[in-house]
Amino acid sequence: MENSDLERFQEDIHEIENGLYLGSQIAAENLELLQSLGIKNIVQVLEYQSDITFPGITYHFVQINDLESENMIPLLPEALKFISSSLLSGQKVLVHCAAGRSRSATIVIAYIMAKHRLNFEQAHNLVQSRRLCIYPNFGFRRQLKQVGSDLLSTYLIIN
């Protein structure tokens, strides 16, 4: 793959903070892009698990539809533990859904809320400053506002 091709695919993935990436399924299925960024762990946030996986990459699957009626909260503990343990061990992690806008953005926002003890709006603004296209559905937004950073922070692995 040429550099111009890699640059085009990098539009599908953004680094939110050191080692934590948010992106689309297109990015997650591009092995050369993943290797160029050093990503070793992937959180798939999809209705169905992707058939495209790569050896040497560890996956955590979060099964959820992008519907306001879906309950994201019970799925957060394991996802946040996976993200925090990956980063703690020095490994980069990509969180993705189909477009990298709603489901995966919600999980990344939850992680940012937990890690930095931010409210939803603060965490959303931070993530959106790195990936402009995020737009968590209103049901997911409501859930994160209700649960708050104190509870979310209990899901992190910190040492």
* Active site members: 97
Burial 9-18 (b: 16+ CB within 10 A, else e): bbebbbbbee
Which residues 6+ apart lie within 8 Å of 134 measured at CB?
A: 22, 100, 101, 102, 105, 109, 124, 127, 128
Closest CA to 104 of 27, 4, 32: 27
Cα Dmax for the chain: 46
Residue 13 pairs in a beta bridge with: 23
What do you get for the CA distance between the two ends of the chain, in Å? 38
